[in-house]
Structure 1
Amino acid sequence: MPRPKRYWPMIEASRSEACLAARLCNDPSEARAFEGFVVHMHLAYLYLLHAIFTRDGVDFRYWRRDRPNRLEKIDGEPKRWELARYVVERWPSVDPVRSNIEFFVGLRNKIEHRYASQSQLSLQAALGGLAQAHLLNYEEELVAQFGQEVTLATKLRFPVFIGTFTDSGEATLLRLRSALPAPLRTFISEYHSGLSDEITSDRRYELRLRLVNELVARDPDALALQFTRFDDLTEEQKDAVEALGRKGLVIIREQRRGVVNPELMKPNRVISAVAAALPFVFHRGHFIRSWQKLGVRPTVGSIHPERTDERYCLYDEMHGDYGYTKAFVNKLTKLLATDEGWREFFGEDPRVKESSEVLEDLAAG
């Protein structure tokens, strides 16, 4: 019998961590279920990439900068790359898979041992699509690198659950989404604001599912649950699915967003911050045209004031007004920093500040 590859124990350890992550996430009696999922999937990816680079003969140890021929060591052992470094080496270009993993790396640093079980439930409700994509991406990478024999398909099953199958369950999940602690909402909004629409709409970054109860005769050769990729549908089928999404309940990242966030900014503060960062005059009229053009919030008098773009704006239900994120300020300053950018956005030439206006903006900042 041939000796097993020296990276094989790493694969087994990785698979065990992924299975444990899924079990914790699906266990209703586990108080810190989502934290457990994030932590153990972190280890699963770490061991998987460790195995890949070991197989490929890549040196993933850190070498000392002052003495390049000496290894960095921790407690006498060579210091190896952390997950963030592995990810950059494996996916050099930014893509949905890399962005999804990096989101969870950042989230782990935010949540580990910090939030109670209620916040864990809110996280799971708000980030379920990202978590599902996280696990599926892991499975695809595992099988692509080491073959079908290591698949988790024989170990993991679609959980039996109630969730949005009932109106009351759906209402509860929506309430949980809006109950995330302010620092987590800010982290999520700012991370998403730094990604392109192409990445955030990709299923490998966040998986969105629509479940339709199909009334058909029992087929002994069919699975109870089957997954069909949108790209595999015919044009006629795609049109039908999109029509279903428009008419029915759509699974979106947030639908009810009533929160009070101490890190949000009032309009005057946004205007001052953007004006201070630009060489051009930026006033309230520009601010209003900006949120309208970018669609960051509904118009005045909307019957659904909570339907904002959570990356840039959140609705405060208690006070009936809006707060804007730092990401919105960053977005505007980036778009409007040049003559060309200003003209493209507003359709008019910018007015360069006079010296007195520059001083006023500096004083306001």
Structure 2
Amino acid sequence: MAYARWRHILTESQRHALKAVDEWNCSSGNYCDFLTHMHKAWHYLLHAEFHQAKIDYHYKDAQTGEYKLIDGEPKAWDLEFCLKQRYPNSSDPVRLNAELFVALRNKVEHRYEHNAKVATGGKAQALVMNYEHEMVSHFGGTFSLAERLRFPVSLQSLTAEGREQLRAAAAKLPKGTRDLVARFEAAIDPAVLDDLKYDYRVRLVPVVGSKSDADLAIDFVKLDDLSEDERKVMMEAGRQGTVIIKNRHVEVADKDKLLPSRVACLVESQLPFEFNVQREHTEMWRRLAVRPTAGASDPCDTDARYCVYNEAFKSYAYTPAWVKRIVKEIGTVEKYRAFFGREPRMKKATSLPRQEGPTSSSLHDAQPMRETA
């Protein structure tokens, strides 16, 4: 049976995707080979889509309209250009995720492959899952690779010693590669950085209780399939580092949470004008719907990207992403005027440095948690 050309291109794409996953999961696998094979998998996948849609995906000379040739053959669009055509929104998390790996492919040094693999694990998982979703959504479920892939068995990430080794490996990533990722992500909205299509991070929760014949060793739970209450619990666990064991919530850390006074201090240090907890901060969280007002029926109804409710102290704490959001919204005099409709109070050159508020560690102290702004 003769297949259409797009199907042959898609088959080659799948071959590279499977090879990439094998390289990742194999204990002796090569991270650079993973990057190369996933690059080709995405490249061929988008070419197959364009071919099926009868979109000419070859470069032409802007002056003559003739094809640009390589070894006598029309030069096909590279992956970066294909991504821009398929995802015209430059903030699309799928496009950004793939573009990051295009950049990493040309940067990773062989001797630091393991470190890079550890540091980009969640993003690599997103790269593969985005690939599968793109293929199935465009060509149908019969082309899914799900039945040919298995969840890897790992010793390292399931023990305390293993986790420490992973953290140490990530810390040894060369400055050039760290800077590449930092520069790439600096211009990305925090909401996109949190998107699972950009960085897919998971937490393994052992299943307890009796086992039925239908149970799998690994069961993925989609947030959309959960009730509203269940979804809030899982989202909170994912953002706060909460481990769910049977019916208990165990807080791992609140290292990144900030009290209002600390938020104001960090924000003001980046502005040419004053930023006050009661005057500006309160107005901002109200207008941007970051948390409910005092006395709300559900005090936990926060935007978890920016704010969480501490049940023990009946108060709110904020994330570093909230500091970035504030600076982004009102970081200049013009933005301040547009947001508040008034003039900012400029800092005086002779003013003394503002005393910093409590640090995030104060979340464990009852007294500081009385702040409510």
State if a TM-score over 0.5 links the two structures: yes
In 2, Cα distance between the equivalents of 1:284 and 1:201?
25
In 2, Cα distance between the equivalents of 1:203 and 1:195?
14
Which amino acid counterpart does residue 71 of structure 1 have in structure 2? Y
1:153-175 CA distance string (max 9 Å, x none): 12111011113211100111111
Change (3 A) 1:237 1:58: same
Q: Which residue of 1 aligns with 2:242?
A: 248
Q: Which residue of 2 aligns with 1:320?
A: none
Q: Which residue of 2 aligns with 1:339?
A: 334
Secondary structure of the residue aligned to 1:215 is coil
Which one of the candidate residues 151, 156, 162 is aligned to 1:169?
162
Q: Which residue of 1 aligns with 2:59?
A: 62
Q: CA deviation at 1:147?
A: 1.4
Which structure is higher in RCO with an 8 Å CA cutoff and minimum separation 6? Answer: 1
Which one of the candidate residues 78, 84, 88 is aligned to 1:88?
84
Which amino acid counterpart does residue 139 of structure 2 have in structure 1? F
Q: Which residue of 2 aligns with 1:26?
A: 25
Q: CA deviation at 1:249?
A: 5.5
Q: CA deviation at 1:81?
A: 0.4
The answer to whether the 8 Å contact 1:343/1:349 transfers is no
Secondary structure of the residue aligned to 1:221 is coil
Which amino acid counterpart does residue 108 of structure 1 have in structure 2? R
Q: How many residues align?
A: 286
In 1, Cα distance between the equivalents of 2:151 and 2:228?
28
Change (3 A) 1:247 1:59: closer
Which amino acid counterpart does residue 47 of structure 1 have in structure 2? Y
Q: Which residue of 2 aligns with 1:363?
A: none
Q: CA deviation at 1:72?
A: 0.8
Q: CA deviation at 1:337?
A: 4.8
Q: CA deviation at 1:217?
A: 1.7
The answer to whether the 8 Å contact 1:342/1:350 transfers is no
Change (3 A) 1:339 1:79: same
Q: Which residue of 2 aligns with 1:216?
A: 209
Q: Which residue of 2 aligns with 1:136?
A: 129
In 1, Cα distance between the equivalents of 2:272 and 2:110?
36
Identity among equivalent positions (%) equals 30
The answer to whether the 8 Å contact 1:62/1:80 transfers is yes
Which amino acid counterpart does residue 12 of structure 1 have in structure 2? T
Which amino acid counterpart does residue 25 of structure 1 have in structure 2? W
Q: How much is the aligned-residue C-alpha RMSD, in angstroms?
A: 3.6
Which amino acid counterpart does residue 76 of structure 2 have in structure 1? R
Q: CA deviation at 1:344?
A: 5.7
1:237 aligns with 2:230: yes
Structure 2, unaligned runs of 5 or more = 245-253, 256-267, 282-318, 350-373
1:47 aligns with 2:44: yes
Q: Which residue of 2 aligns with 1:227?
A: 220
Q: Which residue of 2 aligns with 1:153?
A: 146
In 2, Cα distance between the equivalents of 1:9 and 1:125?
34
In 2, Cα distance between the equivalents of 1:342 and 1:182?
39
Which amino acid counterpart does residue 25 of structure 2 have in structure 1? N
The answer to whether the 8 Å contact 2:97/2:123 transfers is yes
In 1, Cα distance between the equivalents of 2:236 and 2:330?
34
| 1:268-279 correspondence to structure 2 within 5 Å | none
Secondary structure of the residue aligned to 2:80 is helix
The answer to whether the 8 Å contact 2:271/2:332 transfers is no
In 2, Cα distance between the equivalents of 1:155 and 1:60?
30
1:107 aligns with 2:101: no
The answer to whether the 8 Å contact 1:343/1:350 transfers is no
Change (3 A) 1:238 1:12: same
Which amino acid counterpart does residue 210 of structure 2 have in structure 1? A
1:205 aligns with 2:204: no
Q: CA deviation at 1:225?
A: 0.7
In 2, Cα distance between the equivalents of 1:166 and 1:8?
43
Change (3 A) 1:41 1:342: farther
The answer to whether the 8 Å contact 2:58/2:67 transfers is yes
In 2, Cα distance between the equivalents of 1:48 and 1:247?
36
In 1, Cα distance between the equivalents of 2:274 and 2:70?
55
Q: Which moved more, 1:129-138 or 1:336-345?
A: 336-345
Q: Which residue of 1 aligns with 2:74?
A: 78
Q: CA deviation at 1:343?
A: 8.3
TM-score by length of 2: 0.67
Secondary structure of the residue aligned to 2:147 is coil
Which amino acid counterpart does residue 138 of structure 2 have in structure 1? Q
TM-score by length of 1: 0.69
Q: Which residue of 2 aligns with 1:123?
A: 116
Which amino acid counterpart does residue 28 of structure 2 have in structure 1? S
Q: Which residue of 2 aligns with 1:271?
A: none
